[in-house]
Each structure stands twice: as C-alpha cells, then as structure tokens.
Amino acid sequence: MILILAPNTRTDSDEFRQLETFLRHIPDIRYRVHQETGTQQLLTEVYLIGDTASLAAEEIADLPAVERVVRISEEYRVLGRHSDQQRSTSFEYNGVCFGQDNLNVFAGLCAVNTREHVAQMMKALREHGQVCTRMGAYKPRTNPYSFQGHGKSCLPYVFELAGNYGIRVIAMEITHETHVEEIREALRQTGNATGVMLQIGTRNTQNFELLKYVGRQREFPVLLKRGFGITLEESLNAAEYLASEGNRNVVFGLRGMKTNMGDPHRNFVDFAHVPVVKRLTRMPVCIDPSHSVGTRERAPDGLLDIMHVTAQGVIAGANMILVDFHPEPSKALVDGPQALTLDELPFFLEDVRIAREAYEKRVDLAREYPPR
Ligand code: PEP
Ligand code: MN
C-alpha cells in the first residue's frame, strides 16, 4: 500500500509525526518514506510493507497528511503502475524531461576513441538541435583481449566538449561501482559542464550489488538495459532493485534478445514490448536499435534495417533512442559495423520525427475510441 501525502508535507511537521505514531502501532507493518523534490513541490510517499490486505484503505486515507491511498500488487512496488493514472511517469534531469509521453534521442559513440571524434560527433549533434548523446568509456567486452574503453582518462575532455556543444545528458555505461565516483569527480573538475545518465548494460542487468549501489545514489538517473537472456519480468525486477534502494529516475532499455531466431540481426528485436513496459510500470522506455540489429544492412526501399526497427519502436511509443553513430566507422574501436555516419544524422532524425508524428496521431485516434 502506498500513502501519497499532501504536497509539501515535511517529515518534521506535526501531521507527519502523528501519521508515523499511528503507523508504528500497526502490527506486522513496516514503512518506508520516499521523497522527491520537484521543481514546484516536495512529494512524499509512504510505502507500507507487510500484511496490508487487512488494513482499511478508507481509514488510512483519513490519517493526517494523507491525500490518497493506492493499493499495490507485490510486483514492482515502486516502479509499477498499480492502476493509478495520477502518479508521475516522468522526471527531469539537468533540464531534460524523461517521461512516458515524450521522446529523446541519444545518438553518439559506442566507445570514445579520440578527442577529435568526440568533438565531431557533438558538433553534428548541436547542428541538428540535439542535447543528449551516448559516449562509452567503460566497455564490457566478450573477449578479454578486446579494447575495454579509455575509462576515466577520457572523461574530462568528453565532459568539457559536451559543455562546449550544449550537450546536457550523456548516457554512459558503468560496469563497476568505482566508475560512479570517477564520473562524479570528472564532472566536478569540469565545473559540471554536462550531466550523465548511468547505463547498466545487458550483461549486468542482474548484477544485484551494482544495482543496489547505483540505486542508493540519486544524483544520476539510470538507464537499465533489459537482460538479453532473461525474461521481461526478471529485467523489470532488476529495475525495481534500483528504485527500492531510493533511485526512481530509471529508464528501461530494450536492446534485443539473444537468440539465433533473430538472424541475420545481431539480436532478436523486442520493441513490441515498448507498450508492455509502459503498461506495467511508470518508466520511460528506451530502444537501442544499434545493438539490436548490429549491422548497416539496407532494405530494398532504401532505409537501413536500423532505421526500420527504430521506426517500429517509436511508432509503438518509445521515449528514448540510444543509437550508435561515428564520424569514421572504419576507425571505431567498438561496434563500427553498426554505426551510422554523421551525414546520416539528418536522415535518421527526420525518419524518427515521421514515426513519432504517426505515433501521436495513433494516440489521438485511440482517444476517439475509449475503452468501454
Ligand atoms: C552499449 O550500449 O554500448 C552496450 C554494450 O549495450 P548492451 O549492454 O545492450 O549490449
Ligand atoms: Mn556497442
């Protein structure tokens, strides 16, 4: 059960103390307080854990400071929808809104290689009105002898260039908790020139200790990739690990599933799950067409397979696109064969715009046919 308190209820107020006194006296119930400081107001939710089935919701709703009571299922306690349309499905980070109703594009380098390439990428993004990107510094590789990313040594120039080119959020994978501290330190050194969305890759979706660590910090939002060989439910529970530790600014990323049934694509594209994740949870949903498709193959109609699957995800309501670009794919240190080139950026963005417009028209259409 979640108690949604009146906006701006402070935990040192009389009402809150009275509420706590009441809650402490209910046998077999524990509670946990979550607070979000929004731009307009302070939002407080109290999670009751234990045997809540026997509690009368009307009685709880009459307690001091309580505005609404939401009964929740056991699944995805914090991130789930729980048939409550009024709770927020968006958050803001460094001036960019992430929600289930909008779309942000994160085009960028799978792995940082040179300062020059980072600058070229960011310049192109600025020329096309983009304020987000992806930049890999820590790369989890299948082969231990493959390039593992430049790590912390590239962070200062990546962040500095981001600031110069007006990039507000960089999606950056981390594979170890020490990377969070390295990112924080490099941001500090560059006067917080930009923001970072920590990415948990598909190989770490169920690295529970990493999830707990990242969930305990609330400075950076998190992009959690779906595990490539586990069920959707298991991956959504992984996202819930982050939220249960306190960080609810989580975006859920679909990136294709490992099965040869999807050949000749690198992974079997799972973007049909975009609306499913939005129905089950309040998380914005990201799609990664690059790691799903894995090649630059082009269909006879002139569109790249990567663009076709992007459009499929966007027309289904995706909220974020993580896509590999590179100024010179032949020189990319990781995943060059799937990178789009900078002169393809306007082509890609316009195709996304068309698909998004079609999605918005579909939503308008659905309003004309409300469920009975
Ligand atoms: C990536 O985004 O660079 C990446 C490695 O993705 P994934 O974890 O989905 O393989
Ligand atoms: Mn990659």
Using H for helix, E for strand and C for coil, what is the string for 316-352? CCCCEEEEEECCCHHHCCCCHHHCECHHHHHHHHHHH
Q: What is the mean pLDDT of residues 162-171?
A: 98
Q: Which of 255, 257, 268, 320 to mutate to test the pocket of ligand 1 (most atoms within 8 A of CB)?
A: 255
Task: Identify whether the C-beta of residue 112 lies closer than 8 Å to the C-beta of residue 170.
Answer: no
Collapsed DSSP state (helix, strand, coil) of residue 31? strand
Bigger pLDDT: 50 vs 97: 97
Question: Which is the closest atom of ligand 1 to the Cα of 136?
Answer: 3
- Residue 331: what pLDDT? 96
Using CA atoms, how far apart are residues 291 and 270, in angstroms rounded to an integer? 12
Tell which CATH classification among 3.30.310, 3.30.70, 2.30.42, 3.40.50 matches the domain 2-73. Answer: 3.30.70
Ligand nearest to the CA of 332: 2
Collapsed DSSP state (helix, strand, coil) of residue 17? helix
Distance (angstroms) between ligand 1 centre and the Cα of 366 equals: 34
Is 90 exceeded by the pLDDT of residue 88?
A: no
Task: Identify whether the C-beta of residue 305 lies closer than 8 Å to the C-beta of residue 351.
Answer: no
Is 90 exceeded by the pLDDT of residue 215?
A: yes
Distance (angstroms) between ligand 1 centre and the Cα of 287 equals: 11
Q: What is the mean pLDDT of residues 193-205?
A: 98
Using CA atoms, how far apart are residues 205 and 165, in angstroms rounded to an integer? 32
Is 90 exceeded by the pLDDT of residue 82?
A: no
151: left (phi over 0), alpha (psi -120 to 50) or beta: left
Is 90 exceeded by the pLDDT of residue 225?
A: yes
Is 80 exceeded by the pLDDT of residue 268?
A: yes
pLDDT band for position 89 (cuts 50, 70, 90): confident
DSSP 8-state assignment for residue 109: B
Quickly list DSSP for 56-72. -HHHHHTSTTEEEEE--
- Residue 330: what pLDDT? 97
DSSP 8-state assignment for residue 128: T
The closest of 221, 215, 219, 200 to 91, measured between CA atoms, is 221
Q: Quick one: CA dihedral 322, 223, 270, 175, positive or negative?
A: positive
Instruction: Give 37-63 pLDDT, tens digit per residue.
Output: 877 888 899 999 888 888 998 999 999
Tokens for 274?
A: 């975009």
Q: What is the mean pLDDT of residues 86-108?
A: 94
Please confirm whether the linkage preceding 264 is cis (ω < 30° from 0). Answer: yes
Bigger pLDDT: 104 vs 50: 104
Q: What is the mean pLDDT of residues 153-160?
A: 98
Instruction: Give 279-337 pLDDT, tens digit per residue.
Output: 999 999 999 999 999 999 999 999 999 999 999 999 999 999 999 999 999 999 999 99
- Residue 34: what pLDDT? 87
- Residue 54: what pLDDT? 87
Using CA atoms, how far apart are residues 5 and 23, in angstroms rounded to an integer? 14
Using CA atoms, how far apart are residues 193 and 161, in angstroms rounded to an integer? 8
Question: Which is the closest atom of ligand 1 to the Cα of 171?
Answer: 2
The closest of 139, 128, 136, 123 to 105, measured between CA atoms, is 128
Question: Which is the closest atom of ligand 1 to the Cα of 334?
Answer: 3
State the average pLDDT for the chain.
Answer: 95
Using CA atoms, how far apart are residues 369 and 349, in angstroms rounded to an integer? 31
Using CA atoms, how far apart are residues 240 and 247, in angstroms rounded to an integer? 9
Q: Which segments of the chain belong to CATH 3.30.70?
A: 2-73
Is 80 exceeded by the pLDDT of residue 73?
A: no
- Residue 53: what pLDDT? 86
Is 90 exceeded by the pLDDT of residue 83?
A: no
- Among 27-36, 144-153, 185-194, 266-275, the least confident range: 27-36
The closest of 268, 265, 274 to 295, measured between CA atoms, is 265
**What distance separates the 2 farthest-apart alpha carbons in the chain?**
69
What lies within 8 Å, CB to CB, of 82 at 6+ separation is 2, 70, 71, 72, 73
Is 90 exceeded by the pLDDT of residue 237?
A: yes
Is 90 exceeded by the pLDDT of residue 249?
A: yes
Is 80 exceeded by the pLDDT of residue 24?
A: yes
What lines the ligand 1 site, CB under 6 Å? 110, 136, 173, 201-203, 225, 255, 288, 291
Ligand nearest to the CA of 200: 1
* Cα pseudo-dihedral 44, 50, 51, 56, rounded to 10: -10
Q: Which segments of the chain belong to CATH 3.20.20.70?
A: 92-368
- Residue 35: what pLDDT? 86
- Residue 137: what pLDDT? 98
* pTM across the whole model: 0.94
Collapsed DSSP state (helix, strand, coil) of residue 77? coil
Q: What is the mean pLDDT of residues 119-130?
A: 98
Structural class in CATH, domain 92-368: alpha beta
Neighbours of 140 (CB within 10 A): 16
pLDDT band for position 87 (cuts 50, 70, 90): confident
Q: Which of 148, 197, 199 to mutate to test the pocket of ligand 1 (most atoms within 8 A of CB)?
A: 199
Query: Residue 46 phi/psi, 5° resolution?
Result: -115, 125
